[in-house]
Amino acid sequence: MKPEYKPLHRGWAFMVSAAAATFLTAACSSAVPTPTPLPPEPIPSPAPVPTTTPAPRLPTVSPTPSTESVIQYTTGYAYLSRGEFAEAERYFTTVIELEPAFARGWDGRGQARLFKGDYEEAMLDFDQAISLKPSLAQAYAHRAFARMATRDLAGARRDAEKALSFKEDLIDAHIVLGRVYAAVGQAQEALNSFDRAVALAPEEGGVYWWRGRFYRDALGDHARALADFDRAIKFAPAQATLYLDRAVLLMTVHAPLNLIKKDLEEAISLAQDPKLPVLLDQAEPLLALVDEAIRTGSALVPR
């Protein structure tokens, strides 16, 4: 028999939702599953790139990039994929210095700055990428995310639609449109956009995470939100953000404490490397409350 989920005490529910809002506002500076570093187009490298793990595919560059710029770009993408955004920014800066006309280098640094929460600087990088290559769809989509972070809904929509005019299956652009529609109360249009992103990438955790947030925050559909968070974790099991979001949702529906504790512990463990202080600041106090409730045999009580 499934456990009976009951609404939380009003004060506790407010605390959880406030914690979630604080965390999600800063999510781009944490380990956000989406937007993700997009796989660039391949080119033959001028020399073998030493690496012990599969390296991101390199972009088309003209003229042919130097060995050093290829290595710097590959390393920057590797750091970006691991969530080490300051290191990624450093390597992409070197790429830009070596290849100042390389649009994807500017887009790469823009992504690193976006994830760090440096939205204005990220937009300047995306501007430069677009100036160098006006058809670079991913730069418009990434700039749309930065505009969302600065609450420029109209600008975000314009950039997302421009991205889709160049590449209609660009996942990030569909997610931005979903967020824009959700923000203005167009729930069906938002859901259509999130569903489209899921259809395009059915094995990518981030698309389920964004749709799950929409189900939870806009529609209050906890069952579908939980199903999407479960799928997100299945496909991206190393993303700390997902476990924290699922824990917050489980708190909201008053799920068993051991399930909440397990997700919070996993989120904290994954947030240790790379260090994600925003996530840790949210998860650790919640875990302390859950531990106290387990120890005393009492219900979760807001503080």
47 DSSP 8-state letter: S
Higher pLDDT, 81 or 22: 81
> Which one-letter DSSP state was computed for residue 27?
G
Dist. CA 236–CA 233, nearest whole Å:
5
Higher pLDDT, 290 or 84: 290
Local confidence band at 44 (pLDDT 50, 70, 90 cut-offs): very low
Task: Please report the pLDDT score of residue 191 as a whole number.
Answer: 98
**Residue 13 near residue 7 (C-beta atoms within 8 A):** yes
Residue 120 clears pLDDT 80, i.e. is over it: yes
Of 274 and 126, the structure prediction assigns the larger pLDDT to 126
Give the mean pLDDT of 261-269: 97
pLDDT band per the 50, 70, 90 thresholds, residue 65 = low
Task: List helix spans (H) across the chain.
Answer: 10-25, 67-82, 85-98, 103-116, 119-132, 137-149, 153-166, 171-183, 187-200, 205-214, 222-235, 240-252, 257-270, 277-296
- pLDDT greater than 50 at residue 13: no
Tokens of 101: 């006309």
Give the model's pLDDT for residue 216: 96
pLDDT at 23: 34
Residues 6+ apart with CB under 8 A from 40: 56, 57, 58, 59, 60, 77, 104
Distances (CA, A) of 90 to 75, 84, 85, 95: 10, 10, 9, 9
Omega of the bond prior to 134 within 30 degrees of 0, cis? Answer: no
Examine the pLDDT at 225 and tell me if it is beyond 70.
Answer: yes
Hey, is 141 helix, strand or coil? helix
Worst-scoring range by mean pLDDT, 36-40, 64-68, 226-230?
36-40
With vertex at residue 84, the alpha carbon angle to CA 80 and CA 89, rounded to the nearest 5 degrees, is: 65
Provide, rounded to the nearest whole percent, the portion of the chain with pLDDT above 70.
78
Hey, where are the domains in the chain? 1-31+239-303
- Distance between start and end Cα atoms, the chain: 32
**8 Å CB contact between 114 and 122:** yes
Neighbours of 7 (CB within 10 A): 10
- How much is the pLDDT for 130? 98
**DSSP letter string, 264-285:** HHHHHHHTTTTT-HHHHHHHHH
% of the chain with per-residue pLDDT over 90 = 70
Mean pLDDT of 201-209: 96
Residue-level pLDDT at 273: 82
Per-chain mean pLDDT for the chain: 81
